Structures are given as C-alpha cells and as structure tokens.
Amino acid sequence: MATTADFRNGLIIEFNGELFTIVEFQHVKPGKGPAFVRTKLKNLKTGRVIPNTFTSGVKINVQRVEKRQYQFLYSEGDTFHFMNTEDYEQTFIDKNMIAAPELLKEGEMVDIAFHAETESPIYCEMPNYVVLEVTYTEPGEKGNTATNTFKDATVETGATVKVPLFLNTGDKIKVDTRTGQYSERVKQ
C-alpha cells in the first residue's frame, strides 16, 4: 500500500473498484485544516477524466502494469488484432482502448499495457508519430508554402488529415497520433 505522497503522473491506482491513471495532481496545504491532494484521474476502460480530492496521507492501492511490444496485424469491426513478435502470441483489443485507431496501419509496432494480476490488456500506446502516405487530396499548388491554409487529405489508413496546400497524392507525411494533426512531409 502506498500513500498520497507517492503520487506521480502516470501512476495507475485502483479507485472505486476500477483502474485509473493519474493525469495530474497538486498537493494543497491550506492555512486552516488538513492538507489534501487534488487530482485528475483517467479511467483506463472508458477514457473519462474525473476530478477527485484525497486527504493527505490516505492509503491507495497502486496497480502493477507491464508494457509489451506488439505488431498490429489487422482489424475486424471494432476488434484489433496484435501479435507479440517474440513468441508470436496474438491478442485482441477493442477499438476504444486505442488512442488513435484510425491512424494505425498494418505492421505498426505499439506498446500494449497489461494489468499484472489479471493479465488482461488495459490500453494500447501508439508511437508519437506515424508515417502515412496520402492516397487522395486535391492537386497541390507549387510554391504555395507561405500561407497557413490547409486542405483535407485521405491517408492510407482511411483517416482524413488537414495538410498544407502544397502536398499531393502519393506524398508521405508524418502525423502526430496524440492530436491527429499533420506534422511534416517526409522526403522519399
């Protein structure tokens, strides 16, 4: 058992019978009354973020999580299939456990977090950036790089990303998986 003094961002705890990760926390010592810790907790199953206040020093149940690297194979409806490249074990994850499933292409390596006690997958962590090919966009205008204007582009996974006007079909772009936004063009 740990206490609120052990709080840190990313720590996974059991709270009200469910698993939560600490998104942010703040120790508060008011002039009058006991100290407390104000937190924002993210439910690992639903993804919902809730605020909660813990009395300072209260005992919490820290959960152990193991991350393993898996390769994305294919998706079937809302179920995504992954394979461990070391022992070829396959695991299946629901779409809502993945931060940006529309940017996941076949063969991409991801980290899947497993709850150590139950061996059940909790969430899938994608790399910060993925390189995708633009499969369709309106024709680009050569030399139009000065304006901050964007157009829609469909990438190889089927997702739509806002890109600058100078990009064409067939260009490879780097997309930030945390925001889903265009980052830069990749030279071939």
Q: Which residues contact 67 (CB under 8 A, 6 or more apart)?
A: 111, 112, 113, 114, 125
What is the token pair recorded at 144?
């139009």
Q: Which residues contact 80 (CB under 8 A, 6 or more apart)?
A: 72, 74, 92, 93, 94, 95, 98, 101, 104, 124
Residue 145 is predicted with a pLDDT of: 62
Residue 133 is predicted with a pLDDT of: 92
Residue 174 is predicted with a pLDDT of: 94
Query: Which domains, from first to last, does the chain contain?
Result: 2-62 (2.30.30.30), 65-125 (2.40.50.140), 129-186 (2.40.50.140)
Q: Which residue has the tokens 């010592």?
A: 29
pTM (two decimals) = 0.75
Residue pLDDT, tens place only, 4-31: 888 999 889 999 888 899 999 999 999 8
Per residue of the chain (188 residues), what is the pLDDT tens digit? 788 888 999 889 999 888 899 999 999 999 888 999 999 998 887 778 999 999 988 999 999 888 899 999 999 988 999 999 889 989 999 888 888 889 999 999 999 988 888 888 888 888 999 999 999 988 866 666 666 788 899 999 889 999 988 888 899 999 999 888 999 988 87
Residue 142 is predicted with a pLDDT of: 66
Residue 172 is predicted with a pLDDT of: 93
Residue 129 is predicted with a pLDDT of: 93
Written as one letter, the residue type at 145 is T
